[in-house]
Amino acid sequence: MITGGNSGIGFGIAEAFKNEGATGTIVGRNQETLDSSLVLLGDNFIAINADVTNLADMERVFTATSEKFGKIDVIVANAGAGTIGTVATISEADYDKTMDLNLKSVYFTVQKALPYMNDGGSIILIGSNAAHRAYPSFTLYGAAKAAVIFLAKGFSSDLLDRKIRANVITPGTTDTPAFDKFVPAEQIEGLKTQFASVMPTGRIGQPSDIGKTAVFLASDDSSFMLGAELLVDGGMTYLSK
């Protein structure tokens, strides 16, 4: 079950699981992209329109997923979005909306998933290198993602008796539709080129980079990892000036 699996990083994760023969559910709020994603993922996936900040919606997601596929092996809590603003400009409403989407929804997605999960399953959270680097106007988003990174440790500790592992993938700049939200269409390619020029890898990330990492964390190949953070950011956090 992948939240935000209908576009960007979430779809890259869903596609990587599909390529490994997995079955599952993608969750999102945009029916058009849910439908188009489902065409690409094929018959082994279902799509559910739901709001991850609504606990009743998430209960409905897990009930439907379990009825279709049985017990769940892997949860990917991917849904989230950046919020632009400084401590001087973010309103209380913006604060609540940002924390509900990027932190509260992650916590309760996992909580609601637990009765439907197999023991020995894998929980994969999605962080951000904004938790490690103070990007201008991303203070609140970075703080929420820093808390998500800690949740991987806390969840792993809480779930030791069920052998459910929680780990977190921390992306950097990734080629997703999120660019559309921050700059006009005619400036997007120039901005991507600018980001690529400061990346140690010489390119920005692709959703498939995150998807391949998620498949690893879902597999037995990562069975000795729990509470871990994998930086998949092209070296941006530790190597970029």
Closest CA to 80 of 111, 136, 126: 126
3-state secondary structure of 205: strand
Question: DSSP characters for 12-70?
Answer: HHHHHHHHTT--EEEEES-HHHHHHHHHHH-TTEEEEE--TT-HHHHHHHHHHHHHHH-
DSSP class of 184: -
The catalytic site residues sit at 141
Q: Are 199 and 133 in contact (CB under 8 A)?
A: no
The residue assigned the tokens 């989230």 is 80
Q: Are 1 and 61 in contact (CB under 8 A)?
A: yes
d(CA 82, CA 30): 18
d(CA 241, CA 239): 7
* Residues forming a β-bridge with 2: 26, 76
